[in-house]
Amino acid sequence: MEQAPVAIVDAEDAGHPAEIREAEFRLLGQRRTLRATGREPAWPHLAQGRPDPRTERLARVAAAAFPDGGAGRVLVDAHAGSGLAAIAMGTALPYHAWILGIEPEPDAAGLLRHNLAANGLHETRFAGTALGAEDRVVAGRADLSRRRLDGVLAEQGLDRLDLLRLAAAGHETEAMLGAVQAIRRDRPMVLAEFDLWTLMTAARENPLAVLEEWHAAFPHLVGFDDEGDPLPFAAAADLPWLLHAVLDRRAGVDDLVLCHDLGWLERWA
């Protein structure tokens, strides 16, 4: 494959910190672009004109879950960063009603807005907050302030939740607790990041206990095998194997699907 162009954007002209890069890549056969800082972990793949495996897998999961192209669906990318996951969801589900990008860091939020617009994703809304189990505002400390997703959805005028991609730096469980109303009401699919480092350091959580909690909270927990294909975990006794696989073969981080039915597995391609 011919290497895709990667540009260094003039930081002062763009109004962003230094080392902002921009790459073109193809996702599900469509041309896409991403502008992000050099800290974006997907750059080695994007520089070759393709998304990283986790982003590509997110797009495939979304397409399998909603074969109608996401008609009328509300998609949420929580702690969206520069928006690569939101681009993947919007590409896979072109008939969505709304994409809500949630990003508390102002510079990243600016890139998020740019990237969704640059990729023709205009049915978008944005919220600049971190998610938690309850509303908590700490004066002068935006990094410690958190909001419930249920409240954010209501504030945005969104009365449904269909697909939630959640990467909350170890606080994924808290964020899900703050979305209890939407999860009970709409039974959305949740693609949650499972990052051993942030769980143990930022959240001070036992990763195996987190897996057990997620397994108990949703009817189905689905991981992925070494070929990237879905692998449901029916029994809690199998979760230590999943923990070992993430530690040993996924560099300590992977995504897990939490869902209410497994019909999408029949459409996995």
Using pLDDT thresholds of 50, 70 and 90, give the confidence band for residue 209.
very high
Spell out the residues 6+ positions from residue 6 whose beta carbon is closer than 8 angstroms to its own: 21, 22, 23, 43, 46, 47
Indicate the domain borders of the chain: 51-267
The answer to whether 37 touches 112, Cβ cutoff 8 Å, is: no
Residue 1: the pLDDT is 40
The answer to whether 237 touches 207, Cβ cutoff 8 Å, is: no
State the CATH architecture for 51-267. Answer: 3-Layer(aba) Sandwich (3.40)
Quote the pTM value. 0.90
For residue 15 the two structure tokens come to 């109004």
109 pLDDT higher than 50: yes
The 10s digit of each residue's pLDDT in 149-202 is 999 999 999 999 999 999 989 899 999 999 999 999 999 999 999 999 999 999
